[in-house]
Chains A and B, each alone.
Chain A
Amino acid sequence: MSNDPASPGPKASRDELFAAAEALRRRVHELEEEKRDLEVMLETSSAHADHLAEELEAERNDLATMLEMTTEHADTVEDELHERAAATLLKSARELRMIVEATPAPVMISRLADGEIVYANVMLGSLFQIAANELVGRKALDLYYDAADRQPLIETLEKEKSVDRQEVRLKRPDGALIWVEISLRLLDFNDEPSILSALHDITDRKAAEERLQQQVEALRVELEETSSNSQLARTTGTTRFENLDAAAIKRGSTQLVAVHSFRGGNGKSSITANVAALLAADGQRVGVIDTDIQSPGLHVMLGQAGMDLRHTLNDFLLGNCGIDQIALDVTSRLAEPVPGQVFLIPASINPGTMAQILSQGYEAQRLAQSFFELGELLGLDTLLIDTHPGLNEEALLTMRAVQTLLVVLRPDSQDFEGTGVTVQVARQLEVPRILLVVNQLPQIGQRQAVRERAKGTFNCDVIAVIPQSPEFMLFTGDGPFVLRNLDSPVTLALRQVAHGITSVTA
């Protein structure tokens, strides 16, 4: 039997049947309401889904637009950068050409791969005595006097990325030899790995060096003969000098230092006088001898301007007085008290005496003799010898006598070239120690670069780089500059010179 009121049994009363019918009606109504709710829910969900879909579509469209925009922008910027890069490249190539054309040095560019010359400036044409455009298309190798000389340069270039001032022999189309200093750099030219070559014609210098070498050799032979005939150059009194054998001087004896320069006017005498003062300030007994008998000036630096110089080096060289008569104690003229002593051996500024010695000449050996005798006589720690600029006989003779050669140069190409010759000659004369002093450096920031360039060029120690200083050059006060300007950069540099000279005996 069913309990459902809407399903009366077979024996249900009339009331029961009505109740069952009523229950059925309510159920139907409930179901109809549920159906309506579901229909509303379905409609709401559909509407919401449609809305979401629209939003997603909008976002998708935005993203697509952004992607297109970004891509287009990237293309625009890429084009712009490409055009700019191409323009910059073109400009660089134009500028390189302008620089090279305006450079007063022979320059060429050759391809690294096959050595073909792709550019030559007018100066290169002048060097080879043909039109520059006729050099283009030739092989760089064909310009070498000895083809084997090129390969080591290229190997150095590839390894070091640069080659600087290497001496090499080239040849003109007619076969004539040209000596050049060559500097090489790698660069991209017309999108190809290439070599930039800058040349400096040194043919004349090489010829001069060869002539000088012959003269030096002749002088060496002459000196050796003199030395073997007389022990004068080697021995005076109790002091033995063995410089001719390139050996160190015996302990306790005078150190002879020649101060030399290839050209005049570069401050050699000022440096000599001031270094003498610094050495005396350190307690040394210092002699300063002016062997520049053609243009003496050292006495002015040591407070003797306008003074009556009774006996001079000229008198000794002419045999008119003894060595003991020519040294002046100028310590009191230094303006500041110093623990050491400074002796000046001046050259004559008397026109008659100067003319006499220049016309008569003198026995060259007597000059070297004066160095040794002065050292012994005055008990000097150091004798500074101020030489005549250039390479005359006195200069060569002096180099043979000293332990230390101090070469003063300015940082310009003429002095660099001249100093190269001086150093070469000094080495041939077996000077035991060659030191360099660069004077009158215009910009203090370049000090290290100049020092390295000088050291690299001459393979000598650069003991000081002295800055250009109007105060130093025009100093007219009493006594040497260094004793009145203790903190000047010039004084500091000159201290390095004094230290460099004395360090050998330390």
Chain B
Amino acid sequence: MDVIHDDYQVQFDEASSTVRCQGSFRLHGDEYKPILDLLINAADMKPATLTLDVRELQFLNSSGINTLSKFILQVRKHQVSQVVVRGSTRFPWQEKSLINLQRLLPELKLAIE
């Protein structure tokens, strides 16, 4: 189920209900489908708390933020899970862009380290 590539990796840890994203997301359009499928699958498992850990995600392009938005909308649809997004100040885009996910899901918790 994990998406492993030379430049990026996405892994879902069921035990902790955590999706970890690493590397650089520089894909286009349909190339994001495997990642989106993994994220939707995690949302459909409806855990009480669902964590999205992007602390090691160095780069995310526009299609990438779009993919994360679709994931948040799927979680919101179920109205079951509390979403926690963990980011890092090491990559400036995270501080500026991740907070916008709360516009889709105001209850989303953001933890920038």
Chain A interface residues toward B at CB < 8 A: 62, 65-66, 68-74, 76-77, 80
Contact = CB atoms under 8 A, between A and B. Distances in A.
B104 A73 contact: no
A70 B62 contact: yes
A76 B103 contact: no
Given A77-B59, A77-B60, A72 B93 contact: no
Nearest to B66: A70
Residue from A70, A73, A76, A80 whose CB has the most chain B CB atoms within 10 Å: A73
Contacts of A69: 65, 69, 97, 100-101, 103-104
8 contacts: A62-B104, A65-B103, A66-B69, A68-B103, A69-B100, A73-B97, A73-B100, A77-B59
Contacts of A68: 100, 103
Contacts of A72: 96-97, 100
A72 B93 CA distance: 10
Nearest to B63: A70
A495 B53 CA distance: 63
A76 B69 contact: no
Contact of A70 (B65, B73, B92, B96): B65
A66 B68 CA distance: 10
A76 B97 contact: yes
Majority secondary structure of chain A interface residues (helix, strand, loop or mixed): helix
Contacts of B73: 62
Given A66-B66, A66-B69, A73 B103 contact: no
A81 to B, nearest CB: 9
B94 to A, nearest CB: 9
A70 B97 CA distance: 9
A73 B60 CA distance: 9
B41 interface: no
Contacts of B104: 62, 65-66, 69
Given A65-B103, A69-B100, A72-B100, A77 B93 contact: yes
Residue from B61, B65, B66 whose CB has the most chain A CB atoms within 10 Å: B65
B32 to A, nearest CB: 13
B31 to A, nearest CB: 16
Nearest to B104: A65
A71 B96 CA distance: 12
Contacts, number: 46
A60 B110 CA distance: 25
Given A62-B73, A62-B104, A66-B104, A73 B65 contact: yes
A165 to B, nearest CB: 40
Interface string B69-101: 100010000000000000000001100110011
A79 to B, nearest CB: 9
Contacts of B66: 66, 70
Contacts of B101: 69
Contacts of A77: 59-62, 93
A80 B59 CA distance: 10
A62 B104 CA distance: 7
A76 B96 contact: yes
A36 to B, nearest CB: 37
A77 B59 CA distance: 8
Contacts of B61: 74, 77
Nearest to B98: A73
Which 7 residue pairs spanning A and B have beta carbons closest together? A73-B65, A73-B97, A69-B100, A74-B62, A76-B96, A66-B69, A65-B103
Nearest to A75: B96
Given A66-B66, A73-B93, 12 more contacts: A62-B73, A65-B104, A68-B100, A69-B65, A69-B97, A69-B103, A70-B65, A72-B96, A74-B61, A76-B93, A76-B96, A76-B97
A68 B103 CA distance: 10
Nearest to A59: B73
A62 B66 CA distance: 11
Contacts of B65: 69-70, 73
Contacts of B62: 70-71, 73-74, 77
Contacts of A66: 66, 69, 104
Interface string B38-52: 000000000000000
A70 B73 CA distance: 15
A62 B101 CA distance: 11
A76 B59 CA distance: 11
A76 B97 CA distance: 8
A420 to B, nearest CB: 48
A56 to B, nearest CB: 15
Contact of A80 (B69, B92, B100, B103): B92
Contacts of B97: 69, 72-73, 76
A72 B100 CA distance: 9
Contacts of A80: 92-93
A395 B73 CA distance: 88
Contacts of A70: 62, 65-66, 69
A62 B72 CA distance: 11
Residue from A69, A71, A76 whose CB has the most chain B CB atoms within 10 Å: A69
A69 B98 CA distance: 9
A74 to B, nearest CB: 5
A279 to B, nearest CB: 54
A458 to B, nearest CB: 45
